[in-house]
């Protein structure tokens, strides 16, 4: 059985392939945009996906469909295994600093559909002492 870090690495590799296929690039200044931009088809323009990401407009559907498939694969890999699901929740609670803030709302958004507040609060409460000791 794969470990959570192995599944995350595989997801990252799948995303990298998709990003390259779609011509996705990242830029946080005009200079970075000019240096990183990918080729366009004649008459095409770039669109933003947010967070500094850009891709050719003609690749948006490919990107969205690909991300949907990757996310579906990832959720199946994790959701079908109770231990991995718990580890995913613990990871995201730490990632969104829930142990310090006492708030799980960002964690729930990060986990996405399929996770309930009740489930996340249960793990939060069970792990709180261990995480803050």
Using CA atoms, how far apart are residues 127 and 106, in angstroms rounded to an integer? Answer: 18
Q: What is the pLDDT of residue 131?
A: 87
Helix then strand then coil, in percent of the chain rounded to 5, is 70, 10, 25
Q: What Å distances lie between residue 129 and 10, 14, 25, 117, 126, CA to CA? A: 32, 36, 41, 19, 8
Q: What is the pLDDT of residue 108?
A: 95
Looking up tokens 């109770």 gives 82
Q: What is the pLDDT of residue 80?
A: 77
Q: What is the pLDDT of residue 129?
A: 87
Give per-10-residue mean pLDDT for the chain (133 aa). 92 98 97 95 95 97 97 88 93 95 95 91 94 80
pTM for the structure as a whole:
0.81
Looking up tokens 């699901």 gives 85
- The separation between CA 73 and the C-alpha centre of its own chain, rounded to angstroms, equals 13
Give me the long-range contacts of 7-11 (CB less than 8 A, separation at least 24).
7/74, 7/77, 7/78, 7/84, 11/70, 11/73, 11/74
């Amino acid at each position: 059985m794969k470990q959570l870090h192995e599944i995350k690495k595989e997801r990252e590799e799948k995303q990298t392939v998709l990003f390259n296929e779609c011509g996705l690039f990242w830029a946080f200044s005009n200079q970075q945009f000019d240096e990183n931009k990918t080729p366009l088809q004649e008459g095409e323009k770039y669109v933003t996906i947010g967070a500094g990401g850009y891709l050719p407009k003609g690749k948006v559907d490919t990107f969205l469909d690909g991300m949907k498939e990757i996310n579906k694969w990832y959720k199946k890999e994790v959701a079908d295994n109770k231990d991995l699901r718990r580890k995913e929740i613990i990871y995201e609670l730490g990632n969104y600093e829930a142990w310090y803030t006492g708030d799980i709302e960002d964690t729930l958004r990060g986990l996405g559909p399929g996770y309930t507040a009740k489930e996340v609060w249960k793990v939060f409460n069970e792990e709180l002492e261990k995480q803050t000791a």
